[in-house]
A and B are shown apart, each in its own frame.
Chain A
Amino acid sequence: MKKHVMFHGRECPHCKAMMPLVDRLEKETGLSIERLEVWHDEKNADLMRSYRPIFTPKCGGQLRVPTFFNTETNDTICGEVEYEKLKEWATK
């Protein structure tokens, strides 16, 4: 798994809205964000569930998408956010 991961759902409007921002982030920073779909891929779903203790305190007590996760620092962002916040998560 890459350092930066985006857990998303294919039919989640917030995830769909974030995709262009993730594209922009990759283009501007040269970073690569691994996009893992969780409703149609059980392996990805199980992986997301394995991080439940880390994600749920930051996501209203639930597993929610989109969730952006730094696998090295455990920094987590939950939901639709502004580009600058996403960039800060990715580059710090």
Chain B
Amino acid sequence: MIKFWRCYVCNDIHYGVKPPEICPTCAVKNAYVLISAREAKTICGAPAEADFSKDDFLTAIQKFTEDNEFMVNPDRAKVDLLFDGIFNNERNHGLKYCPCRLMCKELEEDLKIVCPCNFQIHETYKGLDKGECWCGLFIKRPKTSEVNP
């Protein structure tokens, strides 16, 4: 079962079945202790409530895609519309839910539609040359030969 863990040295929070052996933030070994969801929420909530703008999110997902086979869709109008939805959903429903799906009000299921989601298993992406996530925010990076023929 997935649980919350806290590094006793730097308060890094990990959400998973088991904690990392080495804390990725402070590099201390065997530093994680099991905590409650309430504790995790409090620790993550306080500093994380600072502004996180659409530009910050764009920068974050661009960084996220850098070493992956996918990229942020270059269609800026589409990205802007999706960002409106993602940020409205966070404000109205608590998390950055995909505007092209709907919460079913079961947290475990709903976490699967938080952007970026695990879209590489989607039928719109997996095994396709020009795959994209369900909403189209992420697209498979064109092969070099397609970019520079």
| Contacting pair B136 A14 (CB below 8 A) | yes
B18 within 8 A of A: no
Which of B23-31, B32-40, B80-88 forms contacts with chain A?
B80-88
Q: Which of B102, B105, B135 contacts A14 (CB 8 A)?
A: B135
| Contacting pair B84 A63 (CB below 8 A) | no
B113 within 8 A of A: yes
Total interface residues on B, CB under 8 Å, equals 25
Interface contact tally, CB-CB below 8 A:
66
| Contacting pair A65 B85 (CB below 8 A) | no
Decide: A60 near B123, CB < 8 A? Known: A11-B88, A49-B102: yes
Among A36-87, those with CB < 8 Å from B are 38-40, 45, 48-49, 52, 60, 62-65, 79
Interface residues of B (CB under 8 A from A): 78, 81-82, 84-86, 88-89, 92-93, 99-105, 109, 112-113, 122-123, 134-136
Please name 5 pairs of A and B residues whose Cβ atoms are closer than 8 Å in the assembled complex, sorted by A.
Answer: A11-B88, A13-B136, A15-B100, A60-B123, A62-B112
Interface residues of A (CB under 8 A from B): 7, 9-16, 38-40, 45, 48-49, 52, 60, 62-65, 79
